[in-house]
Amino acid sequence: MPVLEQPTDVLRQFSHGDLDAFEALFRTHQSEVYGWIVRIVRDPAAAEDLTLETFWRIHRAHARFDPARSFGAWARGVATNAALDYLRTARPETDLPDDLVSPVLPDPGVSEELRRKTACAFHRLPPKLRIAATLALIEEQPYKEIAEALGISTSAVKVRVFRAVRFLRDELKRQGIEP
Nearest CA to 75 out of 100, 96, 57, 94 is that of 57
Give the shortest CB-51-to-another protein separation in angstroms.
6
Give the shortest CB-79-to-another protein separation in angstroms.
13
Measured CA distances, 109 to 38, 53, 104, 118 (Å): 27, 39, 13, 15
Residue 39 host element (H or E) = helix 19-41
Binding site for another protein (CB under 8 A): 19, 23, 26-27, 30-31, 34-35, 38-39, 42, 44, 47-48, 51-52, 55-56, 59-60, 99-101, 104, 106-107, 109-110, 114-115, 118-119, 122, 133, 137-140, 161-162, 165, 168-169, 179
Give the shortest CB-140-to-another protein separation in angstroms.
7
Give the shortest CB-12-to-another protein separation in angstroms.
19
Decide whether 11 or 47 has the Cβ nearer to another protein.
Answer: 47
Residue 157 host element (H or E) = helix 154-174
CB of 101 closer than 8 Å to CB of 42: yes
> What is the rounded CA–CA span in Å between residue 16 and residue 1?
28
Decide whether 35 or 77 has the Cβ nearer to another protein.
Answer: 35
Decide whether 12 or 62 has the Cβ nearer to another protein.
Answer: 62
Angle at 139 between CA 165 and CA 156, to 5 degrees: 50
Decide whether 44 or 127 has the Cβ nearer to another protein.
Answer: 44
